[in-house]
Amino acid sequence: MTIHIEGLEFDTIIGLLPHERGTPQKVVVDIDIEYDYIEGEFINYADVASSTEAHLVSNKYELLEVAIKGLQNMILPQYPTIKELTIKISKPNIIPNCVVALSDRWIVAKKLMYNR
């Protein structure tokens, strides 16, 4: 199964430049979560979306790279069934004639259990 959270849009502070540090700007977050569905255990996509927004608003990152890593560190431990996580953060208004974005993907290695 894959959950797609697309176009999660809100204002926050992400950036190094003085005008980026003082005034929140629009960001758009896309998250893909590939996971093993186990009956009775599911990933609540509404919780992922709201906690993503809360995390980025409260942390006020300087770099998109660090913001994405922070989201990874927040999401993966909460959901042990995740096999692959992709996060993309776009800043649509930072340059007048384009959208700037950064993304990263993590493939989660599952630990093998051996009986002795």
pLDDT tens column, 3-54: 999 999 999 999 998 888 999 999 999 999 999 888 988 899 999 999 999 9
At residue 110, the pLDDT reads 67
DSSP 38: B
Task: Identify the architecture of domain 2-107 in CATH.
Answer: 2-Layer Sandwich (3.30)
**Domain residue spans of the chain:** 2-107
What 4-9 contacts at long range (C-beta under 8 Å, 24+ apart), as own/partner pairs, is 4/30, 4/31, 4/32, 5/29, 5/30, 5/31, 5/32, 5/33, 5/45, 5/48, 5/49, 5/52, 6/30, 8/49, 8/52, 8/53
Share of the chain above pLDDT 70, in %: 94
Q: What separation, in Å, do the N-terminal and C-terminal C-alpha atoms of the chain show?
A: 33
CB 16 within 8 A of CB 65: no
